Structure 1
């Protein structure tokens, strides 16, 4: 089943951040994404158990993430059991890995636990990985040197 891309209408917000927040509207959506994208939990029961979330709330969040094209339903069946669905990230969902890592990095820096972070970002060599701005040549750019500018003249 291919993801449904939300239709663009005259009521669609111009701001990319606003459109993103409309889809990722609450803490449960972010936690469901963390569990599917970072932890590889794709089955309803394992997500529900890990988060301690009510089944109706989880169903609602999963439906919204599927409707937004962030997750997709994939049928599976254990031997001797009924057919079920798991939830896999789409390419758009996989791209949220960077967003989740940026939130994690910000939380570790600005809202740290006294016993340190619970998860670490590591590269192939095992060294630490930071999330940041990168220019067209692949060089890291300090955040205070990044300007966000309009892409078109103001109306």
Structure 2
């Protein structure tokens, strides 16, 4: 498997990693969910080179995760807004945040707390079965080959 061809693999994780699988892209997405929208704000937040930031933003736009919206005509400048495809990455980002809070924290505690606007409570993200609503755990899931898989064996 080569990095350049991951998006062509018959594996949903490989295809996803091809788009969002590097540290800068994940941190850009984090900032997007924290309402950062402008190039200079991303650069200030991340302390990333202009070239690298530009490349990652172009890739996210190319894959339809972000869209560029002009906010200034002279000079021409853009905001980067999450599309529905980008918003659908929220559970992925939240799962990683929760893992970091649980396994990479220190005595100071969580750097950010998340509050559900509807009920006003702080929460931890959980993954549940779309059919029965029960919390999912790795040891409770069986994987079977799907119609998009080459060959008969599931990974």
Please, what TM-score do these two structures have when normalized by structure 1?
A: 0.82
- Residues 148 and 114 of structure 1: CA distance in aligned 2, closer, same or farther (over 3 Å): farther
Q: Deviations over 1:96-152 (max 9, x none)?
A: 111000001111112222211111232222232322232313332344312232214
Aligned residues: 143
| Structure 1 unaligned residues grouped into runs of 5+ | 1-8
Q: Which has the higher contact order (CA 8 A, sep 6+)?
A: 1
Counterpart among 25, 31, 35 of residue 29 in structure 1: 25
Contact map agreement 2:128 2:135 (CA 8 A) in 1: yes
Counterpart among 12, 23, 47 of residue 42 in structure 2: 47
Q: Which residue of 2 aligns with 1:103?
A: 96
Q: Which residue of 2 aligns with 1:6?
A: none
Distance in 2, matches of 1:136 and 1:54, equals 45
Contact map agreement 2:67 2:83 (CA 8 A) in 1: yes
Matched, 1:89 2:54: no
Distance in 2, matches of 1:149 and 1:120, equals 37
Q: Which residue of 2 aligns with 1:117?
A: 110
Counterpart among 52, 57, 61 of residue 62 in structure 1: 57
Matched, 1:146 2:141: yes
1:84 offset after TM fit, Å? 1.1
- Residues 119 and 149 of structure 1: CA distance in aligned 2, closer, same or farther (over 3 Å): farther
| Structure 2 unaligned residues grouped into runs of 5+ | none
Distance in 2, matches of 1:23 and 1:76, equals 26
Distance in 2, matches of 1:120 and 1:149, equals 37
Q: CA RMSD in A?
A: 2.1
